[in-house]
Amino acid sequence: MAVATLPADELRDLYKSLILAHAREPRNYGPMAAATHEARGLNRLCGDRLHIYLSLDGDRLSDARFDGTGCAISMASASLLTEAVQGMPKDEALEFGRALIARLNGDGDIDSGALGDLRALEGVREFPSRVKCATLAWQTLFAAFESGDDVATTE
Ligand code: ZN
């Protein structure tokens, strides 16, 4: 059955289980020895701490990994990020991240179909304090490209 044909409450449950699945068994978890870009992120409100590792091959992301500790949403968001950006050109990953953050803050115009599994995070829009948990991984990805050793925060 296509996801789009499910009623809204079933969709919500599906996305909740997707978030829990990623939080329990994060994809691409653990440090990367040969990262070309990396940064740490901290969400003080919740205590989420992430370390994002990226490997750029030319202008394309050939690998993305993370580790850290935090709530289910922050862990799932980082896990989803590492899957979403594999093989993406750097500029596309940055644009995608900005569009997703705008969407989670309620003012984005990205089509939710373009988000793929990251639609699972849209539920946080109902809980403003959780938006920072969901966006931390992306803020950390931006920081990895911008500087290197700075700690990204959601403040
Ligand atoms: Zn959190």
What was the pLDDT predicted at 14?
Answer: 75
Cα of 130 from ligand 1 centre, angstroms: 6
Q: What is the largest CA-CA distance in the chain?
A: 45
Cα of 69 from ligand 1 centre, angstroms: 9
What was the pLDDT predicted at 1?
Answer: 43
* CA-CA-CA-CA dihedral for 73, 76, 77, 83, to nearest 10: -170
Cα of 37 from ligand 1 centre, angstroms: 23
User: Residues 6 or more apart from 59 whose CB is under 8 A from it?
Assistant: 89, 90, 91
Contact 123, 15 (CB under 8 A): yes
What was the pLDDT predicted at 26?
Answer: 97
pLDDT lower than 70: segments of the chain? 1-6, 11, 148-151, 155
Cα of 42 from ligand 1 centre, angstroms: 10
Cα of 135 from ligand 1 centre, angstroms: 10
Q: What is the pTM of this model?
A: 0.87
Contact 152, 40 (CB under 8 A): yes
Q: Which amino acid is at 64?
A: A
- Would you call 141 helix, strand, or coil by DSSP? helix
